[in-house]
């Protein structure tokens, strides 16, 4: 799944690149690319629909409301795939890491696999120092806010895979519909015993990134505090209740 907002310039090239890679590397699996447009006002949706007509295994979905988390929620919960994934449209993460994400779930039994720029073996290319610093500080806040260690170190890398079972159980519990969606899902998963694997990646900075650092950082901090003071306990209670109802 590729969430997009006003990406008419990048979308077609990115989808064709991903399609070519998947055709070559995942020829033994069934797969689909879902372009999830969340509120674009340019030609993004038109291009997505054209790509869906051009390729049998490309699908375009449209949400009028903006929010990357909202786009992930819709596409993942509506998918019937055994594994659901997403990557950013700028393809900052080298696609060669994708089979490793899938293998972590399919072959090693992990519930979630995430690309990480902070593990040994990862390469980060062209990232400004201030972005690197903010990212590292943010991820260091997790043990500080929750007074406990986590099984992951890079919550924000736009390159993740989740098993169908874990997605169905966890996604409905996530409150945030924007950039904090990833972090919230991982925190709930980690604290409820889901197995998470970090995969080393090669990551190249996109100078045209649409992420507003200070706005996003403030929203992320609010999200962390919301989970720390009641939100995580609420999600965990709901998870236990839902599991009991399905038993």
Class of domain 2-246: alpha beta
pLDDT of residue 187: 96
Looking at residue 93, what is its pLDDT? 96
Q: What is the pLDDT of residue 218?
A: 86
State the greatest distance between any 2 C-alpha atoms of the chain, in Å, as a whole number: 50
Can you give the pTM of this predicted structure?
0.93
- The pLDDT value given to residue 148: 87
| 38-41 contacts at long range (C-beta below 8 A, 24 or more positions apart) | 38/3, 38/4, 38/5, 38/63, 38/65, 38/66, 38/67, 38/68, 38/70, 38/71, 39/5, 39/63, 39/64, 39/65, 39/66, 39/67, 40/4, 40/5, 40/6, 40/7, 40/8, 41/6
Give 10-residue mean pLDDT values along the chain (247 residues).
97 98 92 97 98 97 95 95 96 96 97 95 89 83 89 93 98 96 96 97 79 76 95 96 79
Which residues are tagged catalytic? Answer: 182
């Amino acid at each position: 799944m590729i969430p997009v907002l006003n990406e008419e310039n990048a979308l077609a090239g990115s989808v064709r690149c991903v399609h070519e890679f998947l055709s070559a590397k995942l020829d033994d699996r069934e797969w689909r690319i879902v372009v999830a447009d969340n509120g674009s006002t340019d030609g993004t949706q038109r291009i997505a629909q054209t790509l869906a007509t051009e390729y049998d295994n490309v699908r375009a979905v449209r949400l009028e409301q903006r929010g990357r988390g909202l786009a992930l929620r819709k596409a993942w919960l509506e998918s019937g795939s055994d594994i659901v994934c997403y990557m950013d449209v700028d393809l900052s993460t080298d696609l060669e890491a994708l089979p490793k994400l899938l293998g972590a779930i399919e072959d090693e039994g992990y519930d979630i696999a995430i690309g990480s720029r902070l593990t040994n073996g990862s390469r980060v290319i062209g990232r400004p120092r201030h972005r690197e610093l903010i990212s590292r500080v943010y991820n260091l806040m997790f043990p500080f806010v929750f007074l406990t260690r986590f099984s992951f170190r890079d919550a924000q890398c736009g390159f993740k895979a989740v098993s169908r079972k874990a997605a169905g159980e966890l996604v409905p519990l996530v409150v945030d519909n924007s950039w904090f969606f990833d972090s919230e899902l991982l925190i709930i998963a980690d604290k409820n015993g889901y197995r998470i694997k970090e995969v080393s990646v090669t990551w190249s900075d996109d100078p045209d990134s649409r992420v507003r650092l200070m706005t996003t950082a403030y929203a992320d901090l609010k999200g962390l505090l919301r989970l720390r003071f009641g939100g995580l306990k609420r999600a965990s209670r709901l998870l236990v209740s839902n599991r009991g109802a399905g038993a």
